[in-house]
Chains A and B, each alone.
Chain A
């Protein structure tokens, strides 16, 4: 049967099993929105208030479920507004398929109304993108887009669809299988390298597992946990990897990197074997690359060959899907009769010495609320089982340090791009994926204002997100750097004229709470969590000039941390 391009588009979504899309209509996608109107029972469209939020919501959905998030926006400004989210997804390897409307083919290149070369604009920040030039190619292009986005190292794929194509007709035939001759990601790791890796692991006296977002993305957290427990090796996670290994487990030494723990960073520095799994040696993790892990051999497991030996020369590269490689590593280990590791008792004593520094300690007085305290209480009140999204800044680091994630896909933040305004829309995506889950957005007074319009979306879809604003009246991380490195010249880091967030939340139809005293923190959190069906905006007035510690200053080595 012949269908219009718009109908084909919707049929493709159904064939891919897409239940939810995030978007915003406009001229170039009107045919598509008309087709969606007729299929509303199959495809749930969430109307955001700004296209950037549509992409972040899709990211939240994808990060919580490991399924691709889907976005639909119009041409021109609709498409350019989506770019920040697309770049964010690219940096954090989030599987997304973003559909943009385009002006009709005969107007392309004509500076037409709401025309922009979005394929050109997004080329450096997508895994791949397409401009559909024939309605006959639409279905196969959509199939390719989902395939590319969700296989290999995941990432955003953009499909630009001219308006006239959505009106043109052709037979609909959705390909069951697709193969792309130029795209064949390696899934299985090399057997010989896996054997060599196990050899090194069993010889190492000072090993450490350094694991990242790749473990979460590949669904390999259980295998990682098993491997670490069999070997009894210490585990440190990157910001993106939190939850890939249970944070409450004794083998866990905390996050590493700029605001990582004293024990994790020192263990990296003194290690003789770093086993990097699904992590990419990002500059916020390594600190000064010249001083990085000077005593260690490095094993690196990653699905992306380009991540291997990019920043740090690797001794044993293993290209493959993290979960598959972990399974093979476990198999190789178990195939060796009576295997045992070298004696790591001295190593563990040393790690326990470092732990005594108690690098995350802080003091909560009776006067002003410490952000760390709020996050700790949130962890307690939610039994450590909430989905937590965050924005970017001090609150993000405190959330990462003090909410002990025991499960993967629970910690949802913007790591690579560091996008303020990510938290609230990402929380919407998570809440839509898991309507009954507790979803908390830990944010700051600066970040929350970058996509605050989404409070309206939350009202429309009755999303009972709990917004935890750690309000210190500053762009806290900017202020911290200005305090440390610019002699306290607080240039533009002060948020003068903050709105009354309680009234603002109420104006959008939600519940607002302001909490000013430490003694009220726990009670307020419990009260908010008890309101199962309401969005609660909690404005915590926190200590104004508080800093995130410990810290590896820029260009320093892991062993040169500032404790307080």
Chain B
């Protein structure tokens, strides 16, 4: 097996029923790995933008790109690894803050990570964090003293820096 690299693939596809399952079905049928997958319509409602993160060798990513391109619903795609790019993920974390002092501790960590508390109850804080994957991992690690009740991660989104753009 040659070396596996993490690839962030951006896909612009028709916003049509079944399009997403064509992409995910391709990965399962051909035995490709999906680390995360996130999708939503773009400013043009006929198009969806999908970011897919996969761990694979150079030969496999070449096949993945070709096979994806072959899907009739896929309009355009790019492997962001070929470009300087920015990757972001959003995470929502619900933490139990009933233990004495944990309110302050969680608030402090939230500030350090430039996160935000977006919901408060007498027993819980819910925090929104945005960043790349490693930052989110680090935040969860830092929170380990507190009791984490729930974690929701969006999966990575990516965009190329500068004037490179994935548009029709």
Contacts and interface: CB of A to CB of B under 8 A. Distances in A.
A and B together in one complex: yes
Interface of A: 119-120, 123-124, 127-128, 131, 148, 180-183, 304-306, 308-310
A182 B29 contact: no
Contacts of A120: 18, 21
A182 B25 contact: no
B107 interface: no
Contact of A306 (B22, B66, B74): B66
B72 A183 contact: yes
B137 interface: no
Contacts of A131: 17-18
Nearest to B63: A310
Contact of A180 (B13, B18, B25, B72): B72
A111 B26 CA distance: 26
A312 B53 CA distance: 26
Contact of B14 (A123, A127, A148, A182): A182
B143 interface: no
Contacts of B100: none
Interface string B22-66: 100110010000000000000000000000000000010011001
16 contacts: A120-B21, A123-B18, A123-B25, A127-B72, A128-B73, A131-B18, A148-B72, A180-B72, A181-B75, A182-B13, A182-B76, A305-B69, A306-B63, A306-B66, A306-B70, A310-B63
Nearest to A180: B72
**Which of B13, B21, B70 has the most A CB atoms < 10 Å from its CB?**
B70
Interface residues of B, number: 22
A123 B72 CA distance: 12
A124 B67 contact: no
Contacts of B67: 306
- Which 8 residue pairs spanning A and B have beta carbons closest together? A306-B66, A182-B75, A128-B72, A124-B29, A305-B66, A183-B72, A306-B67, A306-B70
B85 to A, nearest CB: 23
B168 interface: yes
Given A305-B69, A306-B63, A310-B63, A119 B75 contact: no
B14 to A, nearest CB: 6
Contact of A181 (B17, B25, B63, B168): B168
Contacts of A310: 63
A124 B62 CA distance: 20
Contacts of B76: 182
Nearest to A152: B70
Interface in B72-92: 72-76
Contacts of B14: 182
Given A131-B18, A306-B63, 4 more contacts: A128-B72, A182-B76, A305-B70, A309-B59
A131 B75 CA distance: 20
A304 B67 CA distance: 10
A180 B66 CA distance: 18
Contacts of B74: 182
B162 to A, nearest CB: 25
A310 B70 CA distance: 14
B27 to A, nearest CB: 11
A306 B168 CA distance: 22
Nearest to B12: A182
Contacts of A123: 18, 21-22, 25
B66 to A, nearest CB: 4
B40 to A, nearest CB: 18
Nearest to B76: A182
A185 to B, nearest CB: 10
Contact of A304 (B29, B70, B72): B70
A270 B72 CA distance: 40
A182 B70 contact: no
Nearest to B14: A182
A133 to B, nearest CB: 8
A182 B18 contact: no
A182 B63 contact: no
B73 A182 contact: yes
A308 B29 CA distance: 19
Nearest to A182: B75
B45 to A, nearest CB: 15
A131 B17 CA distance: 9
A309 B62 CA distance: 9
